[in-house]
A and B are shown apart, each in its own frame.
Chain A
Amino acid sequence: MVIFKGGGNEVALQLSNHTYGNTESTVELIEYGDFQCPACLRYYPSVKQVKEKYKDQILFKFRNFPLTQLHQNTIPAHRAAEAASNQGKFWEMHNMLYDNQKVWSQSQSPGDLMKEYAQALDLDLTKFDEDRASLAVMDVINADSKSGTRIGARGTPTFTLNGKMIENPEPTLEAFSVVIDQALSEQTNN
């Protein structure tokens, strides 16, 4: 949950909660990503490696940050991922979307492809269709996006480490390891 305040108004929004790794860890790496972003696709393999290498030590989160000004098919993809999340298969859909980015991003009807992916993941298709068309799913996507804007994200991928935006490491496990190892070291010293 995140609270937005301003002008005498206060609104509480539910952020997404796509986590991987050690939920007890105080070291948290968040990726603000756009499923249609080619740069995010470049980072995808190394981020997968990072998640596996540090799954016992850090908490990794993914938050929606679709760049609708640049990517025509990104909203259907994010809706599909959130709908899959409602059936406990966010990461499976996340991986499916990046693995097939070139196909659905160039499609005239990406929603149909999303349904094929949902079918491949054995999701309840009726519930999937209802969820991905729902305002509730769009609210989560918008909440994630606004939280990214608030911390200064202007593109994708944007990474935060322990709540602070960091300069993107090179898309390699080694580059991420330098940053994460330092954060873990600081946690130990504290």
Chain B
Amino acid sequence: MDINLYIKKLSTKYRYLVATILIAFLGVVLFGSYFGYLYSTTNGYLRHPAIDHYHFRTQMEVDGVAVDFAGSDFQEEYDHNSCSADLDGDPIDFHDSEDQMTHIHWSGVTGGDFLKYFGWNLTGGEDGTLGTRFDQGFMSMHKVPIHGDIFPTPAENDNYYIYTGDENNYQKRDWNEFLNSDFEDFFGKKSYLNKDYGTSFNILDLLTAKTYAQGTVSDGHSTDTVNESVEEKLTRINNLLGNIVIFVQEQEPTDEQILAKFQNLQPLTDSVCGG
């Protein structure tokens, strides 16, 4: 039966009811589609972020010009009067006035998100945002903005080259692996923070917000103490996962160019964030 004929046969009251139901259904479909789009274009870790705090030293050169992470475009104010485990801060930042140390504050950040945070969207999704958080409730879902569009624009025929390691031993890495991997997986090293302390069930967890003192009976005596060199100790206390050197240029960099970048990495001297 022709739908228009069918509708004409209905009384006015039922026409309005059918129209209302159709509009409501369309609304649900549209909203559901938009919600699904936001959800699917957000990396899993971002939908429900968790605090972490680790570092890697970074050197980047675009068409022969070094990216200056010590510049005011990149540097964030660092509140020395507060330690925060809040998730409302920046997931990625530079704040030690040097062009070296990337600070990661959320667990699961990928190389692609690192680049997108400063303006290079090489992994898709909406420009201007890393994705959408859903951890604060359905009605409070909100987008995680990027820091800004501040990376220089690469030339048209540029390629991306990435290396990890140090001046004594570095390796060329796969660019797509970098874009799509959690930094801990990419470096093959886990942050020592944000570990599950595995407390037993406590009814309080149903009554109150998660607190920060979910400790166990550990008295801090480690049976895994190893003799450390000074460099190893500094790497540990800085929760340094590794070093990355990125070249964005048409031709593959020479060994001399790569080595120069690794040699430019500043030695660690103390805990970069204190504590």
Contact = CB atoms under 8 A, between A and B. Distances in A.
Contacts of B226: 108
A106 interface: yes
B203 to A, nearest CB: 6
Interface residues of B, number: 47
B212 A68 contact: yes
Interface in A102-121: 105-106, 108-112, 114
A39 to B, nearest CB: 5
Contacts, number: 160
Contacts of B113: none
Contact of A40 (B53, B83, B192, B194): B83
A155 B213 contact: no
Contacts of B271: 105-106
B98 to A, nearest CB: 18
Nearest to A138: B215
B80 A39 contact: yes
User: Which one of B213, B215, B225, B274 has the greatest number of beta carbons of chain A within 10 Å?
Assistant: B213
Given A70-B193, A132-B219, 5 more contacts: A39-B81, A66-B213, A67-B83, A105-B275, A108-B236
Interface of B: 50-53, 79-86, 192-194, 197, 202-204, 206-222, 224-226, 228, 233, 236-237, 271, 273-275
Q: Which 10 A-B pairs have the closest CB atoms?
A: A76-B220, A111-B220, A38-B274, A155-B84, A145-B213, A75-B215, A111-B221, A6-B207, A145-B211, A37-B83
Interface of A: 4-7, 9, 11, 13, 34, 36-43, 64-73, 75-79, 101, 105-106, 108-112, 114, 129, 132-135, 138, 141-142, 144-146, 148-150, 154-157, 168, 170-171
